[in-house]
Structure 1
Amino acid sequence: MSLRTLYAVEMAAATGLAAKELYEYERVIREAGGFPGEVKSGPGGGTPATAGNTAVLLLALLASSSKRNCSAKGELAGSAVPVDKNGHAIRCPLTVESTLLAALTTLLDTPDMAAGIDRIEHDERAYVTRIVTRAGQIVEYRLGDPEPPTGFRAVRILDGHALHRIAAAIARLGEGEAVGDAAEVA
């Protein structure tokens, strides 16, 4: 099953973005070589709708407000590591992963775990991403130790309900279930 099918059946509705917009981000990432593994072209081809590929796409959407540099910014955000209150690198207490990309992949691969997430927020200027659980636990991911930014800051947020809907759709599609309107995006 391809990411295009995932857009049609759940991801577009969950994120509030049009399926064609999601596809354009996917195309930019694919052309930059941002998806791991083989991406097939032609009938039955496309980027496989795996948890890992979906995590790459979601990180690009969180880390960049434009398609132009979304692949590089998403890859950079994905390399962020979880840190404790003193800023020391740790393993994620939620997923036991050591990078944001790996943690998001685990969440997308485990719908029950994704259901416990309230939101994922990314502050590009501060190089910080936080996974916030419904129980109030916050896991902070950082890139290096930058100076705190001043002035205006924009924080992009992926709602936990959207994350869970996408994770559940990946699981259903992976099991071969028909989900909603699975028409491919043109």
Structure 2
Amino acid sequence: MNIQAMANEIPSEGEHSIEGIDFITSGDQYLTFTLSHEQYAVDILCVEEIRSWERPTIIPNSPTYIQGVINMRGVIVPIIDLRLKFSIGEASYTETTVVIVLTYQDDVASRTMGFVVDAVSDVLNVESEEIKPAPQFGGCVPPQYIEGLINAEANVVTLLNVANLQLLEKDDNHA
């Protein structure tokens, strides 16, 4: 065994030389999830964590789509049921129901909110030119929450705008 030859094969800092594994993607990554058999996605860089469904503490007089709040390591996180907010199917809580906790940082502050979805599906690698503008024909999801559409094999995935999702509780105060 030639130790010097083996040492020469060790990649130096910044090199990646593991065959068969692709560590670097050139596009952005999006976490996909389902709401009543429809596919949606959010920027994976905004995903703080994915939690199993647990009943949050109810906030009196809040809109029906705000399920309440949870304490996540000392941070009070509002929980929004996207099915109720967007009127997509019935709000039922099963073993696949999860809360996707998203944190969005803008120039002013950071905001963390949890969003109830039916199930998490996959992670998509998408080039920016693959994101198509959403048609303005009026679906369940208001256009300000849609960043675009992505073709993923046989499905069309609706890419949601995380910055605008974080404003959900401010724009609609009815129950």
TM over 0.5: no
| Bigger Rg, which one | 2
Of Structure 1 and Structure 2, the greater strand share is in 2
TM-score, length-scaled by structure 1: 0.27
More helix by share: 1
